[in-house]
Amino acid sequence: MSLFKYLEYIDSKIDHIPIVLQCDSTIKYLRKYFIYGQLVSLSLIIVLFIISRLMSVEIFVEYSIVSILFLIVTLAFIFVLEKVKTLILLTKLGYELIVLYFVSKMGGLLTSGGLILTGLAPVLYSLIFQNYKWLISVFSVFMVSICVLFIFNDHLTGKEILSPQLNLTYFLIILLGITSYILLFAIYTQKILIKLEKKDTQRQKEINETKNRLFTNITHEFRTPLTVILGLADNLKSDLSDTISSKADIITKNGKQLLQLVDQLLDLSKIDSGNVSVNKIYGNIIPFLRYTFQLYEYYAQEKEFQFSFLSENQAYEVDFDPEKITAIISNLLSNAIKFTPSGGKIEMCVKRFENDLLIDVIDNGIGIAKENQDKIFDRFYQVNDTDVRGSLGTGIGLALTKELVNLLNGTITFVSVPGVETKFTLRLPISSPSNVRIADRRHSELVTFQREEDLNEDNTLETNEVNIKQRILIIEDNEDVISYLKSCYHCFYFIDFVTDGLKGFHKAIDTIPDIIISDIMMPGMDGFTLCKKLKDDIRTSHIPIILLTAKADIPSRIKGLEQGADAYIVKPFNQKELLVRINKLLELRRKLQYRYSNIEISDLPEDPSLKKEDFFYNTVTGLIYKNLNNEEYNVLALCQDMAMSKSQLYRKFKALTNMSAAKYIRKLRLQKAKQLLLSSSLNITEVSYEVGIKTLSTFSELFKEEYGQSPTEFVHKHKENYHNN
């Protein structure tokens, strides 16, 4: 028992030895293993030294002193050197050479008291390398030493140093010593294996507990909404009262909870399998973040939160993945709402710090206890504190959030003081658009010309409106309907909403949405009046309008259509039907764009239903033709002549032609230039001035970009065709 206690004592002391260098767990294990082996070897050699001193055998006293000094020096180096494996290898090879030296000094293998057996210790010890080359190196040195000693045995002197009796005695002592070393090595190795087995058992136990906890919570999470859904479904079969609508709302709410759980599990599965890609767009992220934040205003109002969105700047142009940002922000806001008592405060703050965009979600809810803070991003982990947490959840949301943030090369951290404040900070790198490049200095004039017209209009306006989706304006005084419409279509469209008819009219004038969905009975202005005013206004006459109302009688339908509504849908409506109507109306608008794709005014066929659009298009085209030779006539001048703001003109003209006004102006200039080159005697420079492009190099670049050949090539080709004819 004393031997085992001695081993445990050494092992416990090694665990508390301070190491100067920082290192990973594998290196720490090698250091500990090396220290353990050196101490055991040192103990055995000290015993050999004492025996040799008592027996007055000077050669073994000398061997013991050299070995002890060598072990102490190498033991000291293990605490300060970084290359642990190399040190261990050199130590074992060095010890083999010490053994070889003393065996040869005592006359060879048979007269050295079995000292060669101590060379087995380094060979056995080299197993820890888990490297065949190093293991074979130590073994080879040992075997070569034996072979060399055997070959040169007759030439070695010193055979008389040990008497036959001492030779036999030391052979027995060394045999017992090396046997003890092997026993200690085996015991220590067994101890390590037992530790590893316990760790593996504990790990499996934790995995099983995690699985059990997951399935328990998943079952609980699924059971509650399923119970509600099935119970209400049974009631609806026999209940014909007015409560059907409210029960249907609850069914929808619980169904969405189940769908969210399933989606989160599927998202985690996709991330694990590596099937999730990052699809970034470049634009102003602030409207997108504000829109995502506003999706939760309804839930915040139910719990009477102070719910605010703050941004240091109203425009941060960045590359971002809308789908993943939505999932991240939604999870953070959902948690904030879930664990903040009624009347609490929730803020979302956006700012820039160096080359990162920082998004803070702050609440003054129950917070996260200190002992749980290092585990909240662990998958399927839940805080077992039912006294303060009304719903445990599944432990999926924050784990998924962490994975998505990593995909975007960002970081997420948090600080929580329970009951005071919890702040999650999302840090995303800011990168510029990959497709914006200036070719070289030869095109500087062309780039300048285009920047003033195209980049200022297209990039600023389109990115500010998150041009990945078309814009729907919902004018509805029922916030539940707004919330439902947003939940149905936010994946397909960018959605604005107002709860007042008059405000809706001004909102439509200001933003020029792609389509409008409006109720009829509203404060400020009813839907019929709103529809007529928008259709009569040249700025908004092109916008498709869907009247969505509970007034199902025929006279109301007829009145709505007479006021210019493009569709009349009665509540309750089918979300797929409404989606189809929206898509069809937008498809009709694309046909409208085809109508105006021919820029010849005289070619427009008459259509009474498009009288206002034809007038707008013809007015814009006429103003441009009138000022075609004026280099200073640009989009801003056109806006002044049309009495429209830049954004109004842009969205109106873009809706009709799928082309910006700046590009349209340039197209008309180049078309006029082409006509002049064909039908007049003006030279290229005069034509350039005539169409308002005063720099000849810029004119040539733009002409070639539009028609595939330079003005000179175009003129020569036209003359050749003329002579051939």
Alpha carbon distance 288, 305 (integer Å): 22
End-to-end CA distance of the chain: 117
**Structure-token pair, residue 366:** 């129950």
Provide DSSP, 60-82: HHHHHHHHHHHHHHHHHHTTT-S
Is the bond leading into 572 cis (omega within 30 degrees of zero)?
A: yes
CB 423, CB 410: distance < 8 Å: no
Short-list 11, 125, 105, 31, CA closest to 74:
31
Task: Give the predicted TM-score (pTM) of the model.
Answer: 0.36
Is the separation of the CB atoms in 546 and 557 below 8 Å?
Answer: no
What pLDDT does 392 receive? 45
pLDDT value, residue 222: 60
Residue 494 pairs in a beta bridge with: 471
Going by their DSSP bridges, the two strands 493-498 and 470-475 should be labelled as: parallel
* CA–CA dist 146, 553 (Å, integer): 109
Report the pLDDT value the prediction gives residue 69, as an integer from 0 to 100.
92
**What is the SS3 string spanning 129-190?**
HCCHHHHHHHHHHHHHHHHHHHHCHHHCCCCCCCCHHHHHHHHHHHHHHHHHHHHHHHHHHH
DSSP state of 388: T
Residues in the chain, pLDDT under 50: 1, 3, 17, 19-23, 385-393, 433-467, 601-602
| pLDDT tens column, 209-264 | 666 566 555 655 565 566 566 566 656 655 555 566 566 666 666 666 666 666 66
DSSP type of residue 55: H
